[in-house]
């Protein structure tokens, strides 16, 4: 697994946005301009960027060609300690929640649903996002112990989906106690359901591995 993430500004500058699309059309120039607002220190620009993430880059749970590159940028922001100067806990919670929702679209649970409905073939966008899960986890991991409860819960929600990736299974033993004590005790029904599903799956996999 990668040990670090590139600087978020480098990702923003070096990504070829002209070849990418969000739900309503070309990503350039709108998407990089709005994403830059997350590092502007201006609350209105940050809110516009967050609205763009939720409304257009991941639209109603559907991946676009811009989703994976944007997720890499968001993960880099969350990984970069210096971004704390611009991102307050509310922003971090919303960014982590967006990563959680994006990761859910390629989770084992979602893949089983899609296979039942549409057969085994998955799109290129689906596989591309699965491929970047270790990088996304690097951005999520620093927030798993956040003293801000809502930030920690959002990070754990993202981790519960990301740790479906076989390359990340070694982190399950570290994360599962927090899933059990924080996410499984959430006031949000959906978060508790994710926690229960993750713990059942991880414990089943661990038992199977011990019996091999």
SS3 of 67-78: the string is: HHHHHHHHHHHH
Give residue-wise pLDDT tens across range 96-106.
999 999 999 99
**Rounded distance between C-alpha atoms, residue 145 and residue 65, angstroms:** 32
Residue with more model confidence, 122 or 67: 67
Identify whether 187 is part of a domain: yes
* pLDDT surpassing 50 at residue 16: yes
- Element housing 118 (H / E): helix 108-118
Please check whether residue 78 lies inside any domain of the structure: yes
The number of distinct structural domains making up the chain is 1
Give the tens place of pLDDT for each residue, 106-141. 998 888 887 776 676 668 899 999 999 999 999 999
In a domain, 127, yes or no: yes
Name the residue range of residue 38's domain.
Answer: 8-211
Confidence grade of residue 207 (pLDDT, cut at 50, 70, 90): very low
Whether residue 2 lies inside any domain: the answer is no
The alpha-helical segments, DSSP class H, found in 53-106 are: 67-79, 89-104
CA 156/CA 160 separation, integer angstroms:
6
Would you say residue 205 has pLDDT above 70?
no
Residue 16 falls within a domain, yes or no? yes
Quote the radius of gyration of the chain (alpha carbons, Å).
Answer: 17
* Range list of H helices, 105-148: 108-118, 124-131, 133-140
Domain presence at residue 141: yes
Residue in the block written with tokens 């991991």: 141
Percent of the chain whose predicted confidence (pLDDT) is above 90? 78
Domain assignment present for 3: no
Instruction: Report yes or no: 12 and 1 within 8 Å, Cβ to Cβ.
Output: no
Signed CA dihedral, 58, 62, 64, 70: sign only: positive
pLDDT tens digits for range 136-189: 999 999 999 999 999 999 999 999 999 999 999 999 999 999 999 999 999 999
In-domain check, residue 1: no
Arithmetic mean of pLDDT over the chain: 91
């Amino acid at each position: 697994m990668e040990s670090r993430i590139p600087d978020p500004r480098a990702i923003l500058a070096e990504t070829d946005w002209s070849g990418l699309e969000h739900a309503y059309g070309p990503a350039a120039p709108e998407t990089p301009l709005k994403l830059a607002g997350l590092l502007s220190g201006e609350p209105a620009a940050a809110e516009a960027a967050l609205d763009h993430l939720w409304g257009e880059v991941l639209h109603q749970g559907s991946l676009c060609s811009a989703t994976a590159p944007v997720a890499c940028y968001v993960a880099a922001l969350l990984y970069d300690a210096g971004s704390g100067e611009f991102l307050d806990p509310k922003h971090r919670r919303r960014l982590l929640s967006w990563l959680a929702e994006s990761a859910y679209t390629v989770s084992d649970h979602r893949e089983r649903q899609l296979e039942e409905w549409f057969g085994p073939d998955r799109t290129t966008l689906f596989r591309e996002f699965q491929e970047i899960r270790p990088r996304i986890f690097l951005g999520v991991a620093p927030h798993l112990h956040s003293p801000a409860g809502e930030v920690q819960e959002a990070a754990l929600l993202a981790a519960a989906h990301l740790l479906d990736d076989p390359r990340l299974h070694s982190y399950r033993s570290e994360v599962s106690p927090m899933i059990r004590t924080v996410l499984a005790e959430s006031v949000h029904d959906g978060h508790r359901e994710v926690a229960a599903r993750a713990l059942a799956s991880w414990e089943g996999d661990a038992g199977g591995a011990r019996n091999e």
